[in-house]
Structure 1
């Protein structure tokens, strides 16, 4: 059964691109000081398809989705990678050396 009205069940992920006017910095250099970029609502992001600024409610949701994905990726990269082969044997204590220390064969 298709949904005919009301809010979406899930937030749609939009393709974002850096603002061409401010190059993603959210500010434009004026004569004496920096000004908020009008083209992207001082966010540095626009829609990739049309180049238009996003409404603030949509922008906050899209940036939150991107932040959560980046944090998830960082957490995955922080996990230690299990070692296999000679590296694992060299770094783990095998209790074969004198006094049950690690023997590496060096």
Structure 2
């Protein structure tokens, strides 16, 4: 066993699935309008293995991990650089009048 001076706080991403009662919407249609789905703790997500709602502390952690992963994916998509003929249309080549972008069209 490895000694550590501080507790381990790393969490693993759990497989989640949309709630079967509210179909991932977090609300149910009631007689007087929408009402919160208590089967999934009003999140729309349940544990894929058991089908039960996660405790609120674990639910917040899992949703935060998924949000961080989605943000990383979005940032990587934005950073991808164009190549070939498309690159001249994406960036400024400063060949136009007054140093503007010239595309040759």
Which TM-score bucket, shorter chain as reference? Answer: 0.7 to 0.9
Distance 1:10 1:30, change over 3 A: same
Q: Specify the structure having the higher radius of gyration (Cα).
A: 1
SS of 1:53's partner is: coil
> Please, which runs of 5 or more residues in structure 2 have no aligned partner?
96-101
Report the counterpart of residue 64 of structure 2 in structure 1: 64
Q: Indicate the residue corresponding to 1:51 in structure 2.
A: 51
Query: Is 2:30 the counterpart of 1:38?
Result: no
Distance 1:82 1:37, change over 3 A: same
RMSD after superposition: 3.0
Matches for 1:88-99 after TM superposition, within 5 Å: 88=87, 93=93
Change (3 A) 1:56 1:89: closer
CA deviations over 1:45-86 (Å, ceiling 9, x no partner): 1000110000000000000000011011111111242313x4
Is residue 2:13 matched to residue 1:13? yes
Q: Which runs of 4+ in 1 moved over 3 A?
A: 86-95
* DSSP-derived class of the 2:10 partner: coil
TM-score for the superposition, normalised by structure 2: 0.74
Contact between 1:36 and 1:42, CA under 8 Å: does it hold in 2? yes
> Deviations 1:1-22 (Å, cap 9, x if unpaired)?
258xxx6441121111100000
> What residue ranges of structure 1 are gaps of 5+ in the alignment?
96-101
